[in-house]
Amino acid sequence: MREQMKPAIRMPSWLLAAALAVVTMIPVGAAQAQAGYPDKPIRMVVPFPPGGAVDILGRLVAQHIGQQMNQSVIVENRSGANGSVGNEAAAKAPADGYTILLGANGLATNVALYPKRPFSELKSLTPIAYVGSSPLIMMVPANSPAHALKDIVDAAKADPNRISYASAGPGSSAHLGSELLKYVTKTSMLHVPYKGGAPAIVDLTAGRVDFMLLDPVQGLSQLQSGRLRGLVVASKERLPLVKDVPSAAEAGFPEFEASVWWGFMAPKGTPPEIVNRLNAEINKALTNPDAQKVLAGMGVTTKPGTPEDFGKYLDAEAAKWSTVIKSANITAD
């Protein structure tokens, strides 16, 4: 006997139409929004004051990606707490691609520096693109008796805490880079924090502190004027801008690598398609010959890559500096 077929369950026509509308409209709507992106100005948060290296970089990239995307990119400076103020402001913005952040080292170090803070850059922001880096240069007063990194290290070992170093404040690149030097050489040195780089450089040139780690934007004019001397570049290779200054690897301290670096982030949840579009536009801007000329003059080495590449870099930097910060008992809270 042939098995009796069960009657098919029929969906009401109005319900079927509604379901099909939902299925088709969601991706089409998203695609239309992304296809029209950007259809209004983009806000670029720079978490440092105007005039510094981060601000210069931000305005340079803003100009180029604005021209490429035929849309205004407005730079907004939100400084404070080693970039934390601006980083958090960007993270709290709508995740629609119309707020981006040009962050620096604090993206990876602030989690360890501010352990009591509920906000985390690594958890609240999405990587877009790595911009580049510039190694720190150890500079000493013109009349300093030290003529090599070994002289500083030997003096610190012979008389702990006699050697002093300046920084722009707790948690700054100069501070953490100097603590890395102490960590890899197993020495003790005296940290003299200042409220910003300018007063620190004044005291360094006057010989009130023994050394300071400076990026090329801060220190190049001091070297050229003869007020300061460069002992070593905290990297594996020499820096073309100061080609007569040896690298840390050449000086016998290959683990002493410290730089200032920058990268773009977006609020967590920004659509991947928009993140990838921004990544492509930023990479294109960084390879522009005019931009390359400016970046070379700042001692910046660029390295275009994917959002995933930048994410891996952030994780590696966070792990490296967390070890140094915890070893030195540093906190900026």
Give pLDDT, residue 332: 79
Q: Which two tokens stand for residue 275?
A: 């993140």
Round to whole Å and give the CA distance between 234 and 54.
20
Instruction: Say if residues 234 and 248 touch (Cβ distance below 8 Å).
Output: yes
For tokens 């959002």, what's the residue?
307
Model confidence pLDDT, tens digit, residues 1-35: 333 333 333 444 433 343 333 333 434 444 444 66
Question: Could you give the angle at the alpha carbon of 167 between the alpha carbons of 164 and 169, nearest 5°?
Answer: 125
Q: Which long-range contacts (CB under 8 A, 24 or more apart) does 115-122 make?
A: 115/331, 115/333, 116/333, 117/84, 117/333, 119/84, 119/87, 119/88, 119/91, 121/87, 121/91, 121/265, 122/314, 122/315, 122/318
Give pLDDT, residue 331: 83
Give pLDDT, residue 34: 62
> Which pairing describes strands 190-193 and 164-167: parallel, antiparallel, or unpaired?
parallel
137-242: CATH topology is: D-Maltodextrin-Binding Protein; domain 2 (3.40.190)
**What is the mean pLDDT of each successive set of 10 residues along the chain, which is 333 residues long?**
39 39 40 75 96 93 98 96 94 98 97 91 98 98 98 98 96 97 98 95 98 95 96 97 96 98 98 98 97 94 96 97 95 78
Residues of the chain with CATH 3.40.190.10: 137-242
Residues of the chain with CATH 3.40.190.150: 42-133+260-327
Round to whole Å and give the CA distance between 31 and 224.
53
| Percent of the chain scoring above 70 in pLDDT | 89
Question: What's domain 42-133+260-327's architecture?
Answer: 3-Layer(aba) Sandwich (3.40)
